[in-house]
Amino acid sequence: MKTIEAQLHDVYRSIKKDVPNLHCITFTISEFSQIPPYLHGFIHMGEECEEFKNVEELGNLVSDKVSSQARNEILYRRYDKEEGIDD
């Protein structure tokens, strides 16, 4: 159980590094009759909360958020340069 806990903490920290406004990730593993166990959960970023139905979707959500932040950062830098705004 300690190994699982450590791995989940590592997942959270690695996502938090790329998505600083990450507040929470929830994981649920469910099993119903006729349906094998499956994983799903929610990722809470800022005021957004998005569901993922598997690990691949979680990866896509994080990638989309990182790409969006990178694009915004480039736009802000370009605006600052054009406006002559210094830090």
- For residues 32 and 79, give the distance between their C-alpha atoms in angstroms, rounded to a whole number: 53
d(CA 64, CA 38): 23
Q: What confidence score (pLDDT) does residue 65 get?
A: 81
User: Using CA atoms, how far apart are residues 32 and 63, in angstroms rounded to an integer?
Assistant: 31
Model pTM? 0.65
* Residue at token pair 């600083």: 20
Facing residues of 85 across strands? none
pLDDT per residue, tens digit, the chain (87 aa), is 999 999 999 999 988 888 888 899 999 999 887 888 888 999 998 888 999 998 899 888 888 887 666 555 655 565 555 555 555
Question: Cα separation of 78 and 48, whole Å?
Answer: 27
